[in-house]
A and B are shown apart, each in its own frame.
Chain A
Amino acid sequence: MTEIADTAVRPLAVPRARRERLPLAWVGVVPFLLFVALFLLLPTFDLIVGAFQTPDGGLTLDNIRRLNQPTILAAYWVSIEVSLASSLLGALVGFFLAWAVVMGRVPRFLRPMVTTFSGVASNFAGIPLAFAFLATLGPTGLVTAFLMDIGINLRVLGFTILSFWGLTITYLYFQIPLMVLILMPALDGLKKEWREAASILGASSFQYWRYVALPVLWPSLLGTTILLFANAFGAVATAYALTGSSLNIVPILLYAQIRGDVLHDPHLGYALALGMIVITGAANLAYIWLRMRGERWIR
């Protein structure tokens, strides 16, 4: 409402004032822009520049080329795999959970419970989360011991909490709730009339979801999945507390590099960081592009 009012009024009010007032109005956002430049954009930009520099400041592509070593490539690969698995699974489970609570015939009190819990769990990340999963699925964890009692030995089956799947299952603890939180309002936004119109026209439940609901939900589904991907890709604390340096993923490699444990070469570290930005950035570009396509299609 207010936005419509804004755009309706502005053309009348602005033209005369524009010349004199605009420079002054800009001053109001200077503190914010300065802050963001100093503590977010400039440090990142400086790092990107560093990735293309030799130690004495010359331009080079050598740092990027040196990313091509087995350890580093493997780290990127495992990172992408963990992030993909945890974001896709998180999106899938989160979608069904949100669907069950919003549209399934479950008691009403479940909904505020799920919402509140999701708010807590999506912020329960980092080191305490690693502790919790060590106590659950670690070598002496409760679930591990219980499964052992009924004759299932996780370690013999090849599962440890320090592995790819261990990390993925742990990440799901904050990925699923994040999906639920963002998707619930989107599911609420599906109008009853659409569903009724679809069924009057003879659509099956599958057809309704395939041709009506999912296309509408598509942008938020996709956007959140990409958010989950970036979320997992940049996470350091949980993986570090869970596995120490034993699992070779990019954030941990970079962390170890900054602490001075490995590589012994800051410029290779800058290139490593650049790789992370490129991957999360590409994911977001893909999102924007897909979303633009999606919106065109809805119209």
Chain B
Amino acid sequence: MKGGRIAPWIVVVLSGLYFVLPLVATFEFSLRKRRGAYSFDAYRSVFEDNHFLESFGYSTLVAVAAILFGILIVVPTAYWIRLKLPRLRPYVEFITLMPLVIPPIVVVFGYLRLYNSSSWLPFTASARATDLLLIFSYVTLALPYTYRAVDTGLRSIDVRTLTEAAQCLGAGWPTILFRVILPNVRSGVMAGAFLTFAIVIGEFTIASLLDRPAFGPYLQNIGANKAYEPSALAIIAFGVTWLCMGLINVFGRDPRDAAAAKK
């Protein structure tokens, strides 16, 4: 569209303002803890708080577990669908998009009803089992993104030929999956992994309702009780999200794509 020269600039500048101002304001606010002078006191106070480290550590562990379990369930399924059951693909794709339709708060409410301590599968009876439930819920939460990332990766390789070649050389299914297919969809898997981490690390609703000591509930608690630390935490959280997206760009990009782009 011709649309003049000014219109695009107005759009870019205005939205730039909208997106940058809150970051500037938050950063400025986070420096105001000491009266009369800018300081990093709020950050020091955050890092000295044991609950910060504990909850962040806990959420990191849960996120890593969710990533690993997600890979374990998504890669074989996406591979198998491409190889043997292509007719099922639209249905499986539809299922993986369901978490975008069913709000997390509804799913976790369902868990509390279905898996309460007196049910046939008492996930919420012990802390460890609830941790497991939290991990599984995060796998479903990230499913739309991980499945798509892996499936896109599979599209760019010849699944059938690779499988047949591996079979000819005497490989069994585990070898084919983890030593042939997985390395070939590495970029998709990595992209899905970092995206999962970004979504999961500060997640509040599920962790809070399952009553787990995760980073999200910790954030909420600080927000209700402190003045300047929340801003410092917001900046830290923004940094973590930025790091995840940066790592997607570094590891998630297919080296073959980069080579093709250079040509």
Contacts and interface: CB of A to CB of B under 8 A. Distances in A.
A50 B110 CA distance: 9
Interface string B194-237: 01001100111100010000001001100110000011011001
Contacts of B103: 230, 233-236, 251, 276, 280
B15 A97 contact: yes
B129 interface: no
Contacts of B261: none
A221 B88 CA distance: 27
Nearest to A114: B12
- DSSP majority for the A interface? helix
A143 B202 contact: no
Given A28-B77, A120-B241, A132-B23, A104 B105 contact: no
Nearest to B173: A28
B73 A273 contact: no
A32 B245 contact: no
A159 interface: no
Contacts of A231: 100
Interface in A133-162: 133-136, 141-143
Interface residues of A, number: 87
Contact of A259 (B3, B88, B209): B209
A254 B248 CA distance: 35
A105 B12 CA distance: 11
A255 B92 contact: no
Interface in B15-50: 15, 18-19, 21-26, 28-30
B11 interface: yes
B63 interface: no
A61 B205 CA distance: 29
B136 A39 contact: yes
Interface string B235-253: 0011001101100110000
A35 interface: yes
B107 interface: yes
Interface stretch (A70-78, A123-131, A291-299): A123-131
- DSSP majority for the B interface? helix
Contact of B101 (A6, A35, A284): A284
A228 B22 CA distance: 21
A132 B25 CA distance: 8
Contacts of B106: 44, 47, 234, 254, 273, 276-277
Contact of B9 (A99, A104, A173, A276): A104
A258 B109 contact: yes
B113 interface: yes
Interface string A256-299: 00110000001001100100110011001000000000000000
Which 6 interchain pairs have the tightest Cβ spacing?
A104-B8, A43-B110, A234-B103, A142-B25, A100-B8, A128-B237
Interface of A: 2, 6, 10, 21, 25-26, 28-29, 31-32, 35-36, 38-47, 50, 93, 96-97, 99-101, 103-106, 110, 114, 116-117, 119-121, 123-124, 126-136, 141-143, 172-173, 176, 205, 208-209, 227, 230-231, 233-237, 240-241, 244, 251, 254-255, 258-259, 266, 269-270, 273, 276-277, 280-281, 284
